[in-house]
Structure 1
């Protein structure tokens, strides 16, 4: 069972790990269960694959989106809204934080470490073992320690997100998840859930006791935009629960 009731749900991980896609899905599902949900975009490193680009559809869902001011929305300058601190201190909200990749992005999170430590929270490290530097357990462990040092916070669980994009099949998920399991053993951390495309959810029951977290794909790459997409160039699916 995935515990989604924590006040703060923070997703960190290397660029390309899939943390933004997971954060979007997490916030979307929280909005079906709680009256006040906020998605905080602390991804200051990559202006092309960030949750702030889906601001209007998320707000239509009832999710407050907190990001850099609109005039900075397409830059990677480290501008952070003053609203963030207020949300972290408000126990009435369910807050999802999408944090920029690698240890440099975690520095943005670190300025709020004191507030975060006073609240119940998840700090999820998202792993796609088919990305550079995370293909072996030792590499994953090194990155976890680097992000913990930069943020001044401890990772509470890994998220297994083994995928090769559209080429992902059950065998890919099985092999990648094995690597994440090895890293979890090295780090002595639990694996919170196994993220995978919703159409592949039926392929994992035979090899994983970790709860699946089916994903609908929100984000389209720049070269995929233009066909039946939102004004931001993003495809917004309907999530079924």
Structure 2
């Protein structure tokens, strides 16, 4: 689905969501109130200005204090890999955006990510993965790091990583692997009204981050939950 099709399905009566320089911002009627929409469209790389603009929109929603749900729509490239953005502290700007979304969640604003195109690396982490619940539409193509990049970082041969990715989802990009690891909570049906599906996701939200449990149940991360629990227990004892 395109962003225009997504917005039409979410807001059949109209909306005030706009796209400028690849950044999505605005709101529309939702479940008797309104939902704030922010995000990235058109496979746009997320740079300093974009991260700060999205952060401001999220924080403005928190300041309004009405516990308005926030929908983060994502079709981005990775973060903008330019020397200028790196020197201006792009890593801190992306972290600020992620923390703004976490703050919104803790302040009572349900945060839902919706990936419908591509996304990778820091841009994926700071937007889609920073929401309480992440949904996807068929055809989405998320990745934290592609295998050639993993090979450069780990110094492992690409052929070995490709073989490992066949049985270990944490090594592999793509929607199916993100679902298996619990990173993506649900795949939505584009033939049904998205407003209803988003509303149901919000209604079924559980306290805290359940991605480790989902990864264990789906077999994509069979030991991560247990290890995280053991580390937390050791920290409490210490």
Same fold (TM over 0.5): no
TM bracket (short chain): 0.3 to 0.5
Query: TM-score, normalized by length of structure 1?
Result: 0.35
Structure number with higher strand proportion: 2
Structure showing greater relative contact order (alpha-carbon pairs closer than 8 Å, 6 or more residues apart): 1
Structure number with higher helix proportion: 2
